[in-house]
């Protein structure tokens, strides 16, 4: 699974678009990074830039942007409404997908070390990247701002984490850290009253509201949602009041929980939520979790496709009330994804492409696709069983099986295109120049790397297809008996996928030089193949016993 982090550097220039463009050009020069947003502010004289990608590539892009900002921005002449201390004032890294906060903090520390050592800029760590919790708060670090740091940096407790303990008059200092992903989210109300919207905001936000206790003393009554900031406002464009929410940690309070809580508090105050609005981007997992949440509230299986989960989330939270919700423009992973050419084809086009004189897609891609069909049948039986009349008390049990099946299906579909990509990489390597010894060595290394990838992809197909047979067997055993033949066909597909993928592992392994690697993966492959054949036999026995004819 691809690791993705977001980087949101703030540069102390909001008026000169040429300077801003030169900085963002550095970011866009790095392959594997996607520039998502550039938001210059004239009054603050500050630009907030958002980009995402593979962590290694994001760190490179951030370094280049910080370097260019230091060359172009002169802090001794800077004026602006926002607190600031450097040309690159702050640069947070944010985990988005398949990466922990601890791992993200390590990348932030690596970036800070490089900026301090190579660029000679004083750097402070903050939030999760800062091991000293007495100086992890950004506002405390930045107190005194640019003008005050010439003296502050000389104080022992404010020695930079990296870089010189000398404040650079032109570039200033910078703060680099790791923090949680922030989702900006507005909930729409059937009122135009800012005061009433604020009342709901105070009900839910973590900071709550000030009230007087029985003794007449002013105290703070916390709101119901942790890691939530909120305020009510009136939006003239839409003619409605909204609760404007910042979800500062969606692992603590996800967007769907915030929506439901606002609905409850609005109803308590005689108002209704009519929909909501996502400002900016959101990770895919947040949308999938929302879809599952609302399906399970209906006591329905959440083991449905990714597209269906997103559709349920959008409709349940009214994310399309004000304007169409376009997943390809709102979900971070979708903005980064390369288009999967094969799995997006129509069935007849895929068959025609396979039958053509082109060598790809070949057996590896077909093995993966057959495996995806096998587990799709198993997942179908799980969903039918979850919704079977008279089995209402078992909807969750079968829904869990369906969710597991969806994961295998999605992985196998991904591997359809991955196998063809692996084949193409081998062909590209063989096509490299070989006119001298250096070129021959580079070509030989590229061929071996591509060949290893071409071995690993079908081996992953084997693993996923065999593992998926657990779901298929369960559905043959305890699933809707009217669909037991579907489970049987699923088993045939899964077994064929394993055997077919292993053929591709073996033929590619024959030309790989690392024989210890080859021996290991062939041994593992034989074991998986043997277990898959045995599992198919068990499943077909169950199926034939239930069919009985």
Quick one: pLDDT at residue 71? Answer: 96
Give the model's pLDDT for residue 184.
Answer: 84
pLDDT surpassing 70 at residue 338: no
pLDDT of 81 strictly over 80: no
pLDDT computed for residue 278 by the predictor = 87
Token reading at 229: 């900031």
**What is the per-residue pLDDT for 237?**
84
Enclosing H/E stretch for 330: helix 327-330
Q: What is the pLDDT of residue 182?
A: 85
- Token pair in block for residue 489: 């066909």
The 3-class SS string of 186-250 reads EEEECCCCHHHHHHHHHHHCCCCEEEECCCCCEEEECCCCCCEEEEEEEECCCCEEEEEEEECCC
Can you list the domains of the chain with their CATH numbers? 4-178 (3.30.990.10), 183-336 (3.30.70.670), 347-547 (1.20.120.680)
Q: How far apart are CA 501 and CA 459, in angstroms?
A: 7
- The region of weakest confidence among 11-20, 36-45, 497-506 is 36-45
Helix (H) or strand (E) holding 11: strand 10-11
CB 495, CB 536: distance < 8 Å: yes
Largest interatomic CA distance in the chain: 90
- Average the pLDDT over 134-151 and give the result: 88
Neighbours of 520 (CB within 10 A): 11
Q: What is the pLDDT of residues 85-139, one digit of tens each?
A: 899 999 999 998 889 999 999 999 999 999 999 999 999 999 999 999 888 888 8
What separation in angstroms does the CA of 291 have from each of 254, 263, 297, 334? 12, 17, 10, 17
Q: Return phi, psi of residue 12, to 5°.
A: -85, 60
Integer Rg of the chain from CA = 28
Handedness of CA 321, 326, 327, 329 (dihedral sign): negative
Q: Could you tell me the CA-to-CA distances from 243 to 85, 200, 549 in Å, in that order?
A: 32, 8, 62
Position with higher pLDDT, 180 vs 487 = 487
Q: For position 144, what pLDDT does the model report? A: 87
The percent of residues in the chain predicted with pLDDT above 90, rounded, is 77
Q: Name the DSSP class of 227.
A: T
DSSP state of 35: E
Q: CA 529, 533, 536, 538: dihedral to nearest 10 degrees?
A: -120
Dist. CA 321–CA 71, nearest whole Å: 45
196: exposed, middle or buried (C-beta count within 10 Å: 0-12, 13-18, 19+)? middle
* Residue 224 pLDDT: 96
**197 C-beta neighbours (distance < 10 Å), count:** 28
The mean-pLDDT minimum among 55-59, 114-118, 140-144, 299-303 falls in 140-144
Q: How many CA atoms lie within 13 A of 543 on its CB side?
A: 22
Compute the average pLDDT of residues 441-466.
Answer: 95
Cα separations (Å) of 93 from 48, 107, 128, 227? Answer: 13, 8, 10, 18
Q: How confident is the model at residue 324 (pLDDT cuts 50, 70, 90)?
A: very high
Report the Cα 373 to chain-centroid distance in Å: 26
Residue 277 has pLDDT above 80, yes or no: yes
Look up residue 39 and give its DSSP letter. Answer: E
State the pTM of this model.
0.79
Q: What are phi and psi of 269, to 5 degrees?
A: -105, 15
Q: Which residue has the higher pLDDT, 465 or 149?
A: 465
Report the 3 state secondary structure along 173-192: CEEEEECCCCEEEEEEECCC
Which sign does the torsion angle of CA 204, 205, 211, 217 carry?
Answer: positive
**Integer Cα distance of 75 and 66 in angstroms:** 14
What average pLDDT does the segment 164-177 reach? 93
CA–CA dist 79, 71 (Å, integer): 18
Q: Please count the other Cβ atoms lying within 10 Å of the Cβ belonging to residue 536.
A: 22
Closest to 206 measured CA to CA, from 286, 260, 261 = 261
**Angle, CA 28 vertex, CA 25 and CA 34 arms, to 5°:** 145
8 Å CB contact between 490 and 405: no
**Range 57-69 average pLDDT:** 97
Tokens linked to 216:
């007449």
Question: Could you tell me the pLDDT band of residue 332, with boundaries at 50, 70 and 90?
Answer: confident
Burial classification of residue 18, based on how many CB atoms lie within 10 Å of its CB (0-12 exposed, 13-18 middle, 19 or more buried): exposed
**Rounded CA gap, 388 and 214, in Å?**
55
How confident is the model over 366-397, as pLDDT tens digits?
Answer: 999 999 999 999 999 999 999 999 998 999 99
At 134 the three-state DSSP class reads helix
Residue range 426-442: mean pLDDT, rounded: 92
Please choose, from the candidates 86, 146, 76, the residue with its C-alpha nearest in 3D space to the C-alpha of residue 112. 86
What confidence score (pLDDT) does residue 339 get?
66
The DSSP annotation for 338-378 comes to PP-TTTTS-HHHHHHHHHSSS--S-HHHHHHHHHHHHHHHH
Euclidean distance between CA atoms 35 and 14, whole angstroms:
17
The span from the first CA to the last CA of the chain, in angstroms, equals 44
Question: Looking at residue 1, what is its pLDDT?
Answer: 63
For residues 452 and 516, what is the distance between their CA atoms, to the nearest angstrom?
12
Q: What is the mean pLDDT of residues 336-341?
A: 71
- If you search the block for the tokens 């060595």, which residue do you land on? 441
Mean pLDDT computed over 302-323: 95
What average pLDDT does the structure give for the chain?
93
Backbone phi, then psi, for 386, in 5-degree steps? -65, -30
Burial (CB < 10 A; 0-12, 13-18, 19+), residue 515, is: exposed
Instruction: Give the mean pLDDT of 186-208.
Output: 95
Q: What is the mean pLDDT of residues 149-166?
A: 92
Residues 321, 240 contacting (CB under 8 angstroms): no
Range in 99-108, 190-199, 335-344, 489-498 with the lowest mean pLDDT: 335-344
Active site residues: 82, 419
């Amino acid at each position: 699974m691809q690791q993705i982090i977001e980087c949101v550097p703030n540069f102390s220039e909001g008026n000169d678009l040429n300077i801003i463009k030169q900085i963002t050009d550095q970011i866009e020069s790095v392959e594997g990074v996607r520039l998502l947003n550039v938001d210059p502010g004239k009054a603050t004289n500050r630009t907030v830039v958002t980009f995402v990608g593979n962590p290694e590539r994001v760190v490179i892009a951030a370094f280049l942007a910080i370097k260019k900002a230091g060359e172009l921005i002169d802090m001794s002449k800077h004026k602006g409404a926002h607190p600031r201390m450097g040309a690159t004032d702050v640069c947070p890294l944010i985990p988005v997908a398949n990466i922990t906060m601890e791992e993200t903090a390590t990348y932030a520390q690596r970036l800070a070390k490089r900026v301090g050592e190579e660029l000679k800029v004083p750097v402070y760590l903050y939030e999760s990247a800062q091991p000293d919790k007495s100086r992890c708060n950004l506002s405390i670090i930045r107190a005194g701002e640019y003008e005050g740091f010439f003296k502050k940096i000389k104080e022992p407790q404010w020695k930079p984490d990296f870089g010189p303990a000398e404040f650079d008059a032109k570039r200033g200092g910078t703060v680099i850290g790791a923090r949680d992903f922030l989702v900006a989210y507005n909930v729409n109300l059937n009122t135009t009253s800012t005061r009433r919207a604020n009342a709901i905001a105070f009900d839910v936000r973590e900071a709550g509201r000030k009230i007087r206790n029985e003794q007449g003393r002013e105290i703070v009554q916390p709101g119901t949602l942790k890691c939530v900031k909120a305020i009510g406002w009136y939006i003239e464009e839409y003619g409605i009041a909204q609760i404007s929410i910042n979800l500062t940690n969606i692992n603590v309070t996800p967007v769907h929980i915030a929506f439901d809580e606002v609905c409850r508090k609005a109803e308590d105050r005689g108002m209704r939520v009519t929909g909501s609005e996502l400002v900016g981007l959101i990770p895919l997992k947040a949308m999938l979790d929302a879809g599952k949440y609302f399906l399970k509230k209906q006591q329905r299986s959440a083991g449905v496709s990714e597209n269906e989960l997103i559709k349920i989330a959008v409709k349940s939270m009214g994310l399309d009330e004000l304007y169409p919700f376009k997943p390809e423009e709102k979900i971070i992973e979708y903005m980064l994804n390369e288009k999967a050419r094969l799995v997006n084809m129509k069935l007849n086009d895929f068959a025609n492409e396979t039958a053509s004189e082109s060598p790809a897609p070949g057996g590896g891609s077909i093995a993966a696709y057959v495996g995806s069909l096998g587990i799709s049948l198993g997942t179908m039986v799980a969903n039918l069983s979850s919704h079977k009349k008279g089995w209402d008390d078992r909807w969750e049990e079968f829904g869990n099986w369906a969710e597991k099946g969806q994961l295998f299906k999605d992985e196998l579909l991904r591997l359809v295109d991955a196998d063809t990509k692996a084949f193409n990489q081998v062909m590209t390597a063989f096509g490299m120049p070989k006119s001298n010894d250096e070129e021959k060595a580079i070509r030989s290394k590229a061929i071996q790397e591509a060949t290893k990838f071409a071995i690993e992809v079908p081996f992953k197909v084997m693993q996923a297809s065999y593992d998926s047979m657990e779901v298929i067997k369960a559905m043959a055993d305890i699933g809707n008996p009217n669909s037991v033949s579907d489970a049987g066909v699923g088993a045939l597909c899964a077994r064929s996928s394993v055997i077919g993928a292993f053929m591709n592992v073996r033929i590619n392994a024959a030309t790989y030089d690392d024989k210890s690697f080859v021996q290991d993966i062939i041994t593992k492959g034989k074991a998986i193949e043997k277990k898959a054949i045995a599992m198919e036999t068990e499943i077909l026995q169950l199926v034939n016993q239930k069919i009985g004819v």
